[in-house]
Amino acid sequence: MTVGNESRTLAAGWLSPGMLVAFAVFGTLPLWIEHVGLYRYLGVEILIWCLFALGFNLLLGYTGLPSFGHGAYFGIGAYAMGLTQFHLVADLWIGLLAAMLAAAVVGGGVALFISHRRGIYFALMTIAFGQMFFFIASKWTSVTGGEDGLLNIARLPARLGVVAFDLTGNLAMSYFVFAVFVVATAFLWRLIHSPFGKVLRAIKQNETRMAYLGYRVYVYKWASFTLSCAVAGLAGGLFAMAQNGAYVQVMSLQWSGVVVLMTLIGGGLVSFWGPVVGTVVYFLARDLLGAYTESWLLWFGLMFMLVVMFKPEGLAGLWQEAVARHAAHRRARAGALQPAASE
């Protein structure tokens, strides 16, 4: 079972069956989410974190580099979104672009220091940098608002030429976040099947061999880190819109851990969609388990431990195994019916 599984079975290009399912579910989410007892804002939050987790998985699942400080870049995106509209220009697109760029520039700078490292050293450095940015953000009150956060970030209208969509309602916001999610997902999907994506996964498998094939490994690791920071920044910018503010908590070690949790529990190591599954499970657990008990995170943590102990490939791994078993079963039955027509 590998990350490349879908690539062998599904058509490539810009779309895939998995993508169509995801788009169908998330695209119609605002229409039915209230009928199943949830609320629209939850849909917005889930999609934003799905985007964050998908970008994070480019690094963890595809390049094999664990970052435990990715919340920092999500937070930087959120602050950039607010600061741009307060001090520069109140435009949605420029704000989102600034969120991506700010996270990419800071992440790219960090990556210069860590892209020669691997394994535990890489992980520790990401924590160190993440904590550094967390403390800067919480102490630099004049810029970030410190512990109070950056308040009153507006949901600016989405201007497309002559038309402009008001995003202040959660319904419109849902559709907007969905649109961004579609574009970003299509790009990431394409990227992992490109030569660049192949190289990232090869680095995960065997970094040394890649060097002996003439690949400058650290440049790709740098690019992968920077790209995933850019996606984190974009998600952070959207989160600042959704929350009408940017808060330092998302930059903490704990929230950086949450995105790792989401990615692993869903099965980011074996599937493109793993992080999405994990994010949905996380938020549903928070809201459904959270309705019964304050200590829902304890139960979620236990679930995470069970997954890591018994099925490190996560929920997507379970699914792939079930599909493979079903296919083998069908082949066996077909073989039993027509013994002459083997293979």
Residues of this chain that bind other proteins (CB under 8 A):
2-4, 7-8, 12-13, 190-191, 193-199, 201-202, 205-206, 208-217, 220, 223
CB of 83 to other proteins, least distance (A): 29
Amino acid identity at 46: I
CA dist 274 → 53, 207, 228, 289 (Å)? 9, 24, 16, 21
Cα(133)–Cα(157) distance, rounded to whole angstroms? 30
CA dihedral sign of residues 47, 181, 179, 16: negative
Cα(330)–Cα(343) distance, rounded to whole angstroms? 13
Contacts of 6 (CB under 8 A, 6+ apart): 16, 18, 271, 272
Of 161 and 195, nearer to other proteins (C-beta) is: 195
Cα(282)–Cα(260) distance, rounded to whole angstroms? 11
Of 2 and 244, nearer to other proteins (C-beta) is: 2
Of 112 and 164, nearer to other proteins (C-beta) is: 112
Of 41 and 196, nearer to other proteins (C-beta) is: 196
Of 192 and 248, nearer to other proteins (C-beta) is: 192
From 82, 62, 115, select the one nearest 250 (Cα to Cα): 82
**H or E segment to which residue 150 belongs:** strand 150-151
Of 161 and 214, nearer to other proteins (C-beta) is: 214
Is residue 232 within 8 Å of 59, Cβ to Cβ?
Answer: no
Is residue 58 within 8 Å of 232, Cβ to Cβ?
Answer: no
Of 196 and 296, nearer to other proteins (C-beta) is: 196
CB of 2 to other proteins, least distance (A): 4
Is residue 285 within 8 Å of 299, Cβ to Cβ?
Answer: yes
CB of 220 to other proteins, least distance (A): 8
**H or E segment to which residue 329 belongs:** helix 314-337
CB of 268 to other proteins, least distance (A): 15
CB of 254 to other proteins, least distance (A): 32
CB of 320 to other proteins, least distance (A): 13
CB of 62 to other proteins, least distance (A): 11
